[in-house]
Amino acid sequence: MNNPHHLNPTSLKSRFTTRFLRALTKIRAQKPISSSSPTEIFRRYRRIKVAADKSMAYSVRSRRIWSRAMLWKLRSRSYRRQDPCSGRRSGKTNQAIMKKSSNENTTTRREDGVGFVEEADELRQLVPGGETMNLCNLLDETAHYIKCLTTQVQLFSPIGKG
Amino acid sequence: MESNAGTLATRSNKTALEREEVAALESLQFTDEIHCLMSAPATDNASSFTALLELPAPQAVQLIHSPDSAKLIAAPAPNVEDFKGGFHFPSNGGLIERAARFSVFAGEGNNKSDSPEATSNNSSANLQKAVKSEPAETDSSQPLISDPTVENRGIKRKDPEKVKGQTKKSKTTVKESSDDTEKLPYVHVRARRGQATDSHSLAERARREKINARMKLLQELVPGCNKISGTALVLDEIINHVQSLQRQVEFLSMRLAAVNPRVDFNFDSVFTAESGFFMDSNFSGMVMPMMWPEIQLSATCLGERRSLQ
């Protein structure tokens, strides 16, 4: 796929576009939609959403905490689906799961001494992998995450306009 | 840079001001210059400090509150209070000017690096003279420092490691602080006047400033955040923005899923700057009450739309 017009062939946007389009064509090739029943559509929606998340996370590689967390989540999800006893698959999976549960049950409030605890906690829930970040890193990750989300929205939004 | 600091530090008779200046200078990485200048000591004792201060200086600042002091650099006034008192520092007009300029930065982080660069060429000659005389001065005339406040600072700032000049932040205020001093060897953050200086509060202050810098970046990213003042509200706005972006992605991927797969992607057009996808789509099966201009959907609208499907 040559992109002569693109501004930067290695930018996040182009990397994400390539990956996502590839995944999308794969999905569409898999299930030629005859029926447009809501369940079918929903299933495809899920797959597309996962594909979008995955391609975004892979475009960012492991350079960011949130992308790493997202990749781990995706991998653990796929492992769990394939193999019910996925406990032995990877220690990191357990860690991720435990972290999630601990986040819901216990009140691991990070009092950073700055006084934005509630907002910071909310933000941590929004940004993938946010529970492990102190406020400083959280803000960094949020900025990058916002940038990536905006790229996604920009790419998706012209769909169906025609 | 460490070795330079070592050499400088070993001149134990240095005055506090000199150390500060050297630290300030070093922190801006003029160490090579200073080093070769220091290695060639020359004396220029003839002129007194005040005489040299009356050198034609481009800008003025009240460096010394003694009546015969010249104004060297224009800067926010309270910055350079340790030049208070009859501080005789011969042949160092240029040095002081430079140091004060470097060290004046009340919140002008970036500007500081610009102005010294600009003046460095101009005052390099002055600096040469100034720095050369510095070692001579320290050796010859210690009793020049008569000001008790300066003495005070001299006593407080004994650590030679202070001169290492790797200031943690790029701020090196030359302010006189009554409760100043970092006695720890590796804390190179300078406290401002009236602020507590134990290691905890310094570290906290550094953290807070990092956080504030990042908040500013985030404010630029999120539209409409510039007008809001108050960090909690800004954070709320950021949270709303992230939530809305996530919902948009969900909604758009749902739309993607609903589109009939008999489409022809025009790949080349995807990569042109603004066009995105062109799809020959067929919405036969799906009832999606779309209103395309409403791409920026609020949460409630999204909820309604989803419930309609």
Q: Is residue B281 part of a domain?
A: no
Q: What are phi and psi of B238, to 5 degrees?
A: -65, -40
Q: Please tell me the distance in Å from A111's CA to the nearest CA on chain B.
A: 13
Query: Does the CB of B271 have a partner CB in chain A at under 8 Å?
Result: yes
Residue A28's pLDDT is what? 74
Could you report the per-residue pLDDT of A34-88, keeping only the tens digit for each? 566 777 777 777 777 777 788 888 787 778 888 888 888 888 877 777 776 655 5
Distance between CA A49 and CA A35 in Å, rounded? 20
Output the tens digit of pLDDT for each of chain B's 309 residues: 444 444 444 444 445 545 555 454 445 454 455 454 455 444 444 444 444 444 444 444 444 444 444 444 444 444 444 444 444 444 555 555 554 555 544 444 444 444 444 444 444 444 444 444 444 444 444 444 444 444 444 444 444 444 444 444 444 444 444 444 445 556 566 667 777 778 888 888 888 888 889 888 888 888 888 888 877 888 888 899 999 998 888 888 877 777 655 454 544 444 544 444 434 444 333 434 444 444 444 444 444 444 454
Return the pLDDT at B20.
52
pLDDT over threshold 60, residue A162: no
Element (H, E) at A43: helix A38-60
Distance to chain A for B193, nearest Cα, Å: 22
Which residues form the domain of A31? 9-82+131-161
Which domain, by its residues, includes B231? Answer: 201-274
Q: Kindly report, residue by residue over A74-92, the tens digit of the pLDDT.
A: 888 777 777 766 555 554 5
CA–CA distance, A147 with B218 (Å, rounded to integer) = 10
Summary mean pLDDT of chain A: 73
Question: What radius of gyration do chain B's Cα atoms show?
Answer: 30
Enter the tokens of residue B224. Answer: 């409409």
Nearest to A108 by CA among A93, A130, A86, A128: A130
Kindly give, in sequence order, each residue whose CB lies less than 8 Å from that of residue B244, ignoring residues fewer than 6 positions away.
Answer: B296, B297, B298, B299
Distance CA A123, CA A120 (A): 5
Domain count, chain A: 1
The structural domain count of chain B equals 1
Please name the residues between 63 and 82 in chain A that touch chain B, using a CB distance below 8 Å.
none
| Domain assignment of residue B301, yes or no | no
Dmax (CA) of chain A: 58
State the pLDDT at residue A75.
82
Examine residue A149 and state whether it is found in any structural domain, yes or no: yes
Go through chain A and tell me how many residues it has. Answer: 162
In whole angstroms, give the CA distance from residue A18 to residue B268: 11
B271 and A153 within 8 Å at the Cβ level: the answer is: no
State the amino acid at position A106 in one-letter form. Answer: T
Q: Report the SS3 class of residue B309.
A: coil
Residues of B in contact with A10 (CB under 8 A): none
Nearest CA to CA, how far is A6 from chain B (Å)?
A: 5
Nearest Cβ partner for A158 among B218, B277, B280: B277
| pLDDT score for B243 | 92
pLDDT band, residue A116 (cuts 50/70/90): confident
CA-to-CA distance for B144 and B138, rounded, in angstroms? 9
Q: Which residue of B has its CA nearest to A36?
A: B285
Cα R_g (chain A), whole angstroms:
18
Decide if B274 contacts B298 (C-beta within 8 A).
Answer: no
For chain B, give the number of residues.
309
Cβ(B133)–Cβ(B42) below 8 Å: yes
Q: How many CA atoms lie within 13 A of B31 on its CB side?
A: 16
> Å from B127 to nearest chain A CA?
40
- Whether A114 and chain B come into contact, CB under 8 Å, resolves to yes
Determine the pLDDT at residue B299: 40
Please state, as a whole number, how many other Cβ atoms lie within 10 Å of the Cβ of residue B182.
21
Task: Give every CB contact of residue A117 below 8 A, 6+ residues apart in sequence.
Answer: A109, A110, A111
Contact residues on chain B for A5, CB-CB shorter than 8 A: 268, 271-273
In a domain, B13, yes or no: no
Distance CA B17, CA B176 (A): 11
Asked if residue A77 belongs to a domain, the reply is yes
Q: Is the pLDDT score of A98 beyond 70?
A: no
Q: End-to-end alpha-carbon separation of chain A, Å?
A: 23
Q: Is A36 on the interface with B (CB under 8 A)?
A: yes
Q: How far is B257 from chain A (nearest CA, A)?
A: 5
| Complex ipTM | 0.77
Q: Which residue is it, tokens 């791409």?
A: B295
* Residue A4 confidence (pLDDT) above 80: no
Distance CA B199, CA B46 (A): 43
Question: How does DSSP classify residue B87?
Answer: B
CA atoms within 13 A on the CB side of B119: 24
Q: Give the CATH number of the domain where residue B269 resides.
A: 4.10.280
Least CB-CB distance to A48: which of B211, B243, B257? B257
